[in-house]
Amino acid sequence: MKAVAVNPEKREVGVIDHPAPEISLSTEIKFRTLEVGICGTDREICRFDYGNPPNGFNHLVLGHEGLGVVTEVGAEVHSVKPGDLVVPTVRRPCHHDHCIPCRNDRSDFCTTGHFVERGIKEYHGFMTEYMVEQERYVCVVPPALRDVAVLMEPLTVAEKALIQIWHIQKRLHWECPVAAGLAPGHCHKAVIVGAGPIGILGAMAFKVAGFDTYVYSRSKAPNPKSELVESFGVKYISSEQVSPEELAKRLGNIDVVYEAVGGAKIAFDVLPVLGLNGIFVFTGIPGFPLPHITIDGEFIMRNMVLKNQVVLGTVNAGRDAFDNAIHDLGIFMQRWPNAVRALITGRHRLESARELLLGKANGIKNVLAFS
Ligand code: BGC
């Protein structure tokens, strides 16, 4: 069976022959891979900055943004049947009894660091023709979302952030007055920093949650990403044209900043303009080499205290975020089907994997299509 893998020892990336998996437990399902998205993490693994092969292997099969169709299920599988579309989650728990989050199905908050992640950390990923997975780690997706379901995993980043934002901000009586036709976040302003897939999907999720949402990103407008963002009713503002201070002047109190660029410079330029009772969410993982930047530490600390602010880092996602992603992706497709489809800027054959992983990043979301 073909698979896209990295061999960090030999510093190789490419298509390899990999043993086909078989069901060995009655709680497992087997699925045929349809599509796998490529993201910055995959590209970093291919620069050998990140990621590790499983124990006993020299290579790691890549891919954590998967979509498949079920071909076989074990005798004790009840919620998934052959023919179902499935998106698998990424992280699997550590084995330590004292890791309360892992023992409670929240490996995204693992306390030992000994979790594994499919396609990233010590566990083979989804860029292969067939996969076997435990029923509990896959989410069944409605057939109507077939075309765009590969976007689910990157959308879970925003979904997990939103779950946590509501939870943390509860301390402030942050809820908006109930108003007919308006979603719960309607009295709050959110600035999404970055216009890549995580940023654009985040902008959609915050808009659906009712937030008055803006995308703040480097490139001057108009450009293809600004046009895409504005096509679903979110204003795009370029950091080359509008400084963070001007941004805050224009928007008024910024309640949420959702960072989706993976670089600290622009994020820390925006942090000082976070508003009263604001929450700043980091989702990006800066890649090596890590350049030094200068930040206005005293000013930021003063603000954080005087304005009751929170800075939150978030990684990976639990089942709740996957469930919300399925729900929201359905809403996105009802409201903005063309914009959602336009996020997938390329579907490519396996043979192009090396170029996509190692070449210059282009488009928004590139996907490997298996059939
Ligand atoms: C993945 C997460 C993962 C993180 C760190 C991201 O690209 O989407 O699932 O936890 O990388 O490895």
pLDDT (tens digit, 9 = 90+) per residue, 187-196?
999 999 999 9
**Ligand 1 atom closest to residue 156's alpha carbon, by position in its atom list:** 8
Q: Which of 114, 110, 113, 107 is nearest to 92 (CA)?
A: 107
Q: Which two tokens stand for residue 358?
A: 């190692």
Helices (H), 39-176: 40-46, 100-103, 152-169
| Across 123-129, average pLDDT | 98
Q: Contact, 110 vs 140, CB < 8 A?
A: no
Task: Report the separation in Å between the CA atom of 41 and the middle of ligand 1, taken as the mean of its atom positions.
Answer: 7
Residue nearest to atom 2 of ligand 1 (CA): 316
Q: Looking at residue 14, what is its pLDDT?
A: 97
Report whether residue 117 contacts ligand 1, using a CB cutoff of 6 Å: yes
Q: Which two tokens stand for residue 196?
A: 């890549």
| Across 91-119, average pLDDT | 98
**What sign does the CA torsion over 133, 136, 141, 147 have?**
negative
Instruction: Assign 120 a pLDDT band (cuts: 50, 70, 90).
Output: very high
| Across 294-316, average pLDDT | 97
Q: Which of 57, 230, 64, 65 is nearest to 151 (CA)?
A: 65
Report whether residue 316 contacts ligand 1, using a CB cutoff of 6 Å: yes
| Across 51-67, average pLDDT | 97
Task: Report the separation in Å between the CA atom of 86 and the middle of ligand 1, taken as the mean of its atom positions.
Answer: 19
Q: Which two tokens stand for residue 67?
A: 């979509």
Instruction: Assign 371 a pLDDT band (cuts: 50, 70, 90).
Output: confident
Q: Which of 250, 289, 244, 288 is nearest to 267 (CA)?
A: 244
Q: Which two tokens stand for residue 332?
A: 């996105």
Report whether residue 225 contacts ligand 1, using a CB cutoff of 6 Å: no
Report whether residue 39 contacts ligand 1, using a CB cutoff of 6 Å: yes
Report whether residue 120 contacts ligand 1, using a CB cutoff of 6 Å: yes
For the packed helices 197-208 and 224-231, what is the interaxial angle rounded to 10 degrees?
20
Name the residue with tokens 């914009």. Answer: 339
| Across 16-21, average pLDDT | 96
Task: Report the separation in Å between the CA atom of 340 and the middle of ligand 1, taken as the mean of its atom positions.
Answer: 22
pLDDT tens digit string along 131-167?
Answer: 999 999 999 999 999 999 999 999 999 999 999 999 9
**Ligand 1 atom closest to residue 154's alpha carbon, by position in its atom list:** 8
Q: Which two tokens stand for residue 334?
A: 């009802």
Residue nearest to atom 7 of ligand 1 (CA): 41
Task: Report the separation in Å between the CA atom of 191 and the middle of ligand 1, taken as the mean of its atom positions.
Answer: 22
Q: Looking at residue 18, what is its pLDDT?
A: 96
**Ligand 1 atom closest to residue 42's alpha carbon, by position in its atom list:** 7
Residue nearest to atom 8 of ligand 1 (CA): 316
Residue nearest to atom 3 of ligand 1 (CA): 316
Q: State the Cα angle at 197 between 261 and 215, rounded to 5°.
A: 60
Instruction: Assign 176 a pLDDT band (cuts: 50, 70, 90).
Output: very high
Separation in Å, CA 25 to CA 85, 132, 134? 20, 10, 8
Task: Report the separation in Å between the CA atom of 197 and the middle of ligand 1, taken as the mean of its atom positions.
Answer: 14
Mean residue pLDDT of the chain comes to 97
User: pTM for the whole thing?
Assistant: 0.98
136 phi, psi to nearest 5 deg: -70, -10
Q: Looking at residue 350, what is its pLDDT?
A: 95
pLDDT higher than threshold 90 for residue 102: yes
Q: Contact, 13 vs 6, CB < 8 A?
A: yes
| Residue to mutate, 43, 52, 120, 365, ligand 1, most ligand atoms under 8 Å from C-beta | 120
